[in-house]
């Protein structure tokens, strides 16, 4: 009985309880299907990260999106 | 002076300040006793995870517990 | 363009390149399907952990399995 | 296009949005300069940890500081 | 049945199998004692980090130690 | 004395000891400059990930690069 541990980091972007439940179910199914792990021994932890704490392109994510949108318009 | 780093992920289940302090003290003592590390160089970070963000058995933890309780009754 | 980051910790148990590729593809598909993330912005990192470095039930995993097998026979 | 992933854990100590933006920019610049990574492929996630969840010297950080200050005065 | 997950990062400094087993047992005992967790649901993963990949004081750990020893002599 | 902890995950792509030392120095300098942290209390851990264990676009990184190169030629 060993326990694959899955940690998902996503931006705090309004993922609903249902979506997070679907992530948990989906990730568990992949480990069961691919590595034949037991569902009850498969753990998934979701970390939701505030936009100002997630950096991409050297910018906080909200600022990165603001500039990308401005460039796009 | 090197720093063992301990990260504990637990479900956000009402662990009190005293219990978390006891976790910090206990984990530090283990590293001091087993690997002779200095207490001031031993760092423990506790992540408390919302029940809907912790998946087990393909379900969010609160749902997993609800079903286990229903099955148990 | 924000980047979900998935970290999978599994025991170093002989997962093949193909199985790990299937984990990567499977986890990516779940994030694309559930949260509409872009595949090229979805990162999956697999950590394979030596059996003596993965503890369960207070024992290294290989010892845990040895005792479980002995109990089972 | 591969993505260095940087995770910074700091105590929740009042870091401002501007300071966190400067951390993101600074860390990204280091990876661009040293390893020639693309800024848009460099991700930085900041975790701010409550003082009672960060242990040092066997104590929660706020208690560790209180004792250090008492000793200092 | 929820699973506290403990990740210990230590420098790759010759920790023996027995010491790592003692870390696993010790950390598990702390979680059982303090939070009444089940041993079989308590997971401990030890990451051993090469000295040149562990930075302290802005230096790789082996260089940091070399300078500290030189200063000490 | 609290300890920012920085974890950098990069693909195992031939980063030299000197480059990794420069990453450690650079990341430490950013934390000292931006948050006035003490260098000796700033820890940086570099994880180098095998290409087949790093997924992007649903593919292992080496395969992702192979296809990108083929498309580019």
What's D51's domain CATH number?
3.30.429.10
Q: What is the pLDDT of residue E3?
A: 77
Q: What is the pLDDT of residue F52?
A: 97
For residue C26, give how far its alpha carbon lies from the nearest alpha carbon of chain E (Å).
24
Place of tokens 């950080």: D61
The Cα–Cα gap between A11 and A17 comes to 15
* Across A62-71, B16-25, C64-73, D16-25, least confident range: C64-73
Q: What is the pLDDT of residue F72?
A: 82
Q: Which chains touch C (3 or more CB pairs under 8 A)?
A: A, D, E, F
Average pLDDT over residues B20-46: 95
Q: Which of D63, D26, C11 is nearest to B44 (CA)?
A: D63
Residue contact D5–C45, C-beta within 8 A: yes
C45 beta partners: C7, F54
Is pLDDT above 60 for E63? Answer: yes
Q: What is the pLDDT of residue E18?
A: 97
Average pLDDT over residues A32-45: 93
Range of the domain at B44: 5-72
The Cα–Cα gap between C9 and A7 comes to 8
Mean pLDDT of the residues in chain E: 93
Q: What is the pLDDT of residue B72?
A: 82
- Say whether the ipTM exceeds 0.85: yes
Q: What is the pLDDT of residue E7?
A: 97
Q: Is residue F3 less than 8 Å (CB to CB) from chain E?
A: no
Q: Which two tokens stand for residue A66?
A: 């603001």
Average pLDDT over residues A8-32: 97
Q: What is the pLDDT of residue C3?
A: 78
Strands (E), F1-73: 5-11, 43-49, 54-56, 59-60
Q: Which two tokens stand for residue C47?
A: 């950590």
For residue D47, give how far its alpha carbon lies from the nearest alpha carbon of chain C (Å).
14
Q: What is the pLDDT of residue A1?
A: 52
Q: Which two tokens stand for residue D32?
A: 């661009």
Mean pLDDT of the residues in chain C: 93
Average pLDDT over residues D36-51: 94
Q: Is residue B22 less than 8 Å (CB to CB) from chain D?
A: no
Total count of domains within chain A: 1
In which residue ranges of chain C is pLDDT below 50? none
Is pLDDT above 90 for D6? Answer: yes
Is pLDDT above 90 for E2? Answer: no
């Amino acid at each position: 009985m060993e326990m694959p541990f899955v940690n998902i980091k996503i931006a705090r972007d309004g993922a609903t309880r249902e979506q997070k439940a679907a992530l948990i179910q989906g990730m568990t199914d992949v480990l069961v299907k691919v590595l034949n792990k037991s569902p009850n021994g498969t753990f998934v932890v979701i970390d939701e990260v505030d936009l100002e704490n997630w950096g991409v392109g050297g910018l906080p994510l909200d600022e990165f999106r603001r500039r990308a949108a401005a460039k796009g318009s």
